[in-house]
């Protein structure tokens, strides 16, 4: 997933290079809301496990056939280029 389109930078400046690379990420989870509005209903988590989405709804856990990715309140990403190879400078 390329997150560059979500980063606000002034159009007249050139973004500074990152010390530890560009960073590549994949979506591994999200939090969404079930209910008519934020005053009613509750929040649930959708996590990706073995290339399948799983919904965690209180005590119920099931396969999430169509996770509401565009409508989530919180997204969880995993950085791909640092998994199993941490940057020793930090």
* pLDDT tens sequence across 40-50: 889 999 999 99
pLDDT at 80: 80
* C-alpha to C-alpha distance for 81 and 55, rounded to whole angstroms: 27
Q: What is the pLDDT of residues 24-74, one digit of tens each?
A: 889 999 999 999 887 888 999 999 999 999 999 999 999 999 999 999 999
Among 33, 42, 46, 71, which one carries the catalytic annotation? 42
pLDDT at 79: 82
Per DSSP bridges, beta strands 25-34 and 52-57 are unpaired
Examine the residue annotation and report whether 42 is marked as an active-site residue of this protein.
yes
* Single pTM value for the model: 0.67
pLDDT tier, 17 (very low <50, low <70, confident <90, very high otherwise) = low
Q: Is the pLDDT at 12 greater than 90, yes or no?
A: no
pLDDT at 63: 96
């Amino acid at each position: 997933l390329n997150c560059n389109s979500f980063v606000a930078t002034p159009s007249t400046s050139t973004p500074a290079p990152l010390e530890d690379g560009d960073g590549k990420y994949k979506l591994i989870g999200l939090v969404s809301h079930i209910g008519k509005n934020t005053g009613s209903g509750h929040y649930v988590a959708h996590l990706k496990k073995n290339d399948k989405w799983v919904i965690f709804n209180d005590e119920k856990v099931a396969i999430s056939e169509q996770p509401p990715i565009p409508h989530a309140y919180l997204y969880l990403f995993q950085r791909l280029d640092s998994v199993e190879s941490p940057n020793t400078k930090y």
